[in-house]
Structure 1
């Protein structure tokens, strides 16, 4: 077999011919969703730096509801929460509140700092809502959602339970960062192989909790491999969305009746309040 070409395997914008049009549509759909959804709290600050803001969308029905945290992708170097708001729609229509955070971007912000920002976002949500949450995320956000499942929250902030995030549903995540380093994308991370491995959930001890990893059936061999290898290493489950590429894999989340949305809602409902 020919050697793996990291650029071909990991450069998803180059792999998917209409990726620019898809991302432009995300931005438009997300803006329309934020404007139209009736119950929301926008621009909640969870930290001191400019990007540390999140939007919280609430179901239209009153009363207690489960909570999910959805983390956007962009290889830790692009986009923010305003490209992902509409992916909360399906869960909201199933009665699940959804928080969508922004974070600092590499290379201005180290990846280790981004991980800490997402821990801070989850901690603030837990302390203010008194709820544990399902962590979800796409691509880089899939990596970050896995890192949250592996986090020891009492060591991060006093007054938190260990399992602030007892369940994660990463979508098209990067769980081994080392193979990305030789690519143009990887160079923007400014990581040594040792640092990349330390920040790779694939090589962390399985933390317990519930993991369901998702990947598009039409994604590269490396994304398929990473998803299945990671899920097996952590004792989780894995699912391929037939025919979906790295971007269309998110489409099911806008549909409350799609099995993936139903599964995510069920995972969120099983999390007990504090």
Structure 2
């Protein structure tokens, strides 16, 4: 299988089967009854941000959804890239424009790409698209961007770091081992089998190191109120790569669930925003 052009040797993971119900652990919309209210806040803040600071639309490929919004702080400002979630089968860039003001306040530009969605395309196709988006941002800025993402976007942020396409990655509520998704309803659209899930899981990908030209910083953040599996995935990834020379950080953010975990990104004074700003300016 060649879905990941840079796939390396598999890493040894905890072989013990989880006694937990995968559907209950990974179906976040079912776990959070008020998720729609949180998402409506995303939509409303996005509309306000776009009205106050209209983005530049940049095509990074020929497809209808191969477009990103660039909220520019200045022509020479560092650029961060946000990869949205939705389990690779929902949402687009327009939902997350509200993240821009907090970064713009610190002089950091924000690029938010859309990408095609399952089941119309496979996950490997989506990864190729976000590679192209990150490479397009690098072409504009002249340096690799810091990449941060939520849920599915957290998975893809780690993938881009592995491939030396990012100066650093902040994965928020990421899924780094896709195998547990196979028996869930989430996989109806993704259609992952065991081989494809393994090939597309960054826990099996090359670990970035000082001999590669990309970044070697990975933050794995998760809401403390998320499922035990999401907590385990982030801690596992931080421990795995941290044990092989990557500068990793794991943190469970108190009082936040899989949706409200994005709340700090709307606050220019939050530690999370300051962390992304620091990484962007250092990159």
* Fold conserved between structures, TM > 0.5: yes
Report the TM-score when normalising by structure 1. 0.90
Alignment match of 1:24 (pick from 8, 30, 40): 40
Within the candidate set 129, 136, 139, 1:127 is matched to: 139
Determine if contact 1:217/1:243 at 8 Å carries over to the other structure: yes
Match of 1:10 among 13, 26, 36: 26
Unaligned segments of structure 2, at least 5 residues: 1-16, 210-215, 243-247
By how many angstroms is 1:32 displaced?
1.7
State the partner residue of 2:105: 93
Paired with 1:150 and 1:78, the residues of 2 have a C-alpha distance of 25
Distance (Å, rounded) in 2 between the aligned partners of 1:207 and 1:102: 26
Q: What per-residue deviation string (whole Å, max 9, x for no partner) do you get for residues 53-93 of structure 1?
A: 0000122xx45221100011000000000111112222211
Residue 64 of structure 2: aligned partner: 50
Q: Could you tell me which of 77, 83, 93 is aligned with 1:65? A: 77
CA distance in 1, matches of 2:26, 2:231: 11
| Displacement of 1:246 | 0.3
Match of 1:233 in 2: 240
Alignment partners' CA distance in 1, 2:100 and 2:226: 23
Q: Which aligned pairs between 1:134-213 and structure 2 lie closer than 5 A?
A: 134-151=146-163, 163-208=164-209, 209-213=216-220
> Is 1:267 paired with 2:279?
yes
CA RMSD in angstroms, aligned pairs only: 1.5
Offset of 1:207 from its aligned partner?
1.5
Output the CA distance in 1 between the equivalents of 2:101 and 2:198: 35
Q: Aligned with 2:250: secondary structure?
A: strand
Q: Distance in 2 between matches of 1:2 and 1:145?
A: 25
**Partner SS for 2:190:** coil
Provide the aligned length of Structure 1 versus Structure 2. 256
For the residue of structure 2 that corresponds to 1:184, the secondary structure is coil
Give the SS at the match of 2:147. strand
Tell me whether 1:102 sits opposite 2:109 in the alignment: no
1:89 touches 1:253 (CA, 8 Å); kept in 2?
no
Q: CA deviation at 1:2?
A: 8.5
Question: Normalised by the size of structure 2, how large is the TM-score?
Answer: 0.87
Report deviation, 1:29: 1.6
Mapping of residues 210-221 of structure 1, within 5 Å: 210-221=217-228
Structure 1 runs of 4+ aligned residues shifted over 4 Å read none
SS in 1 for 2:131: helix
Offset, 1:182: 0.7
- How far apart, CA to CA, are the structure 1 residues paired with 2:149 and 2:143? 19
Q: Would the aligned equivalents of 2:172 and 2:222 in 1 still touch at CA under 8 Å?
A: yes
Q: Give the match's secondary structure for 1:84.
A: helix
